[in-house]
Amino acid sequence: MTIDVEQVKRAHPIADVIAAQGVALRRTGRRFMGRCPFHEDDRPSLVVYTDTQSFHCFGCGASGDVIDFVRRSHDLNFREAIDHLGGLPRLSSPPHRTVATRERPRPLSLDDRLILTAACELYHEALLRTPRALAYLEARGVPRWLARRARLGFSDGSELAPYLKRRRLSLRRAGELGLLYGDGREAMRGRIVIPDLRSGYCAWMTGRAFQGDIRAKYLGLALPRPLLGYEGVRGRRRIFVTEGPFDWLTLTGWGLPACALLGTQPGRGVERLLDRAHSVVLVLDTDDAGRAAAAALTESLGDRTLVLRLPGDAKDVSELGARPGGREAFFRALAAAEARVGSVEREEARHVAPSR
Ligand SMILES: [Zn+2]
């Protein structure tokens, strides 16, 4: 069978494919900018050109078309990348509309939830018997109890298809969800898996590559990104919001009610969820993208928002937490920020009171 490459590219606008993989893209004119998944990118170095349907990273030099992006992200050959794209839902809306905004999520079917939960449990068991994965978590300051509670996992890449088959769950659907490639290989292979749990089910997951892995740092499923961990904090008076999954794990490990944006661009519906909390503490990264996201969220959420500036030169709270004394430094900074807000509120009350 001959492949119409141009048709594949037309059916899969590059910005959508990149955004679906968890890269937050911000539009600037006819381009999108985002943090490059192929290197440790502190600034948005990745440019996505809609007119030529191509990408280029000014940090590491990675470049190409949508097929190159998929090949590189998933470590696939050309044919496998075409198959991978063919397994994704086709995007039929015109390019100027199919941007990085997340579409309204279609509710997961019961079968979807069973497949995702089966994968999550399989990966969790694998994590607990994989020294390399446990050592990685330990190095990043994630204690074993938290790994169990959050059902963190690891994919060794060989077990999912046979396991789903034994459970009589659909491999085809597992492929559509982004768990399996056409040849049965696992998308999450060799990655630490962080699931989003809802009502005892796994509803989404992302995989973190180990240090030194040439693939994309994070790989999410072919589903809209959730506010990671939101179920655990729903109804709480005060919610802490982080960027990345490991920042979320750090705060959760410290007993704080936290959830993660999974990037710097809150998806549709995320602000509505945060709006329900009485107060929101933003613990975002200390780079430009993190600061811009904090400013934007503060503007939309208003007075209830407290932006916590991390002490020292840590780029995020996960890095801070892994340092000696990091946890204490965090809580000191939090107390100081709260005291500042408290004194401003008292001051405002004094000015307002006489006129009433
Ligand atoms: Zn790069």
CA of 190 to the centre of ligand 1 (A): 21
- Domain end among 175, 195, 220: 220
Q: Which residue has the higher pLDDT, 116 or 340?
A: 116
Residue 21: band (very low, low, confident or very high) from pLDDT cuts 50, 70, 90: confident
CA angle 270, 275, 281 (to 5 degrees): 90
pTM listed for this prediction: 0.73
Residue 98: band (very low, low, confident or very high) from pLDDT cuts 50, 70, 90: very low
CA of 248 to the centre of ligand 1 (A): 24
- Coil, helix or strand for 240? strand
pLDDT of 211: 86
Domain of 135, CATH number, reads: 3.90.980.10
Q: Considering its fold, how many domains does the chain have in total?
A: 3
Same domain, 275 and 187: no
CA of 94 to the centre of ligand 1 (A): 28
Q: Which of 100-109, 147-156, 163-172 is predicted least confidently?
A: 100-109
pLDDT of 100: 37
CA of 221 to the centre of ligand 1 (A): 21
Q: Which residue has the higher pLDDT, 92 or 53?
A: 53
**Residue 249 maps to a domain:** yes
**Residue 105 maps to a domain:** no
**Residue 307 maps to a domain:** yes
CA proximity to 146, closest of 22, 256, 261, 277: 256
Mean pLDDT, rounded, of the chain: 86
CA of 50 to the centre of ligand 1 (A): 18
- Within 10 angstroms of residue 29's Cβ, the number of other Cβ atoms is 6
The protein residues having their C-beta less than 5 angstroms from ligand 1 (an ion) are 36, 38-39, 57, 59-60, 62
Same domain, 182 and 243: no
CA of 140 to the centre of ligand 1 (A): 23
pLDDT of 240: 97
CA of 209 to the centre of ligand 1 (A): 15
Same domain, 213 and 244: no
Asked if residues 120 and 193 have their Cβ atoms less than 8 Å apart, the reply is yes
Owning domain of residue 54:
5-86
**Residue 123 maps to a domain:** yes
CA of 58 to the centre of ligand 1 (A): 7
pLDDT of 96: 31
CA of 216 to the centre of ligand 1 (A): 10
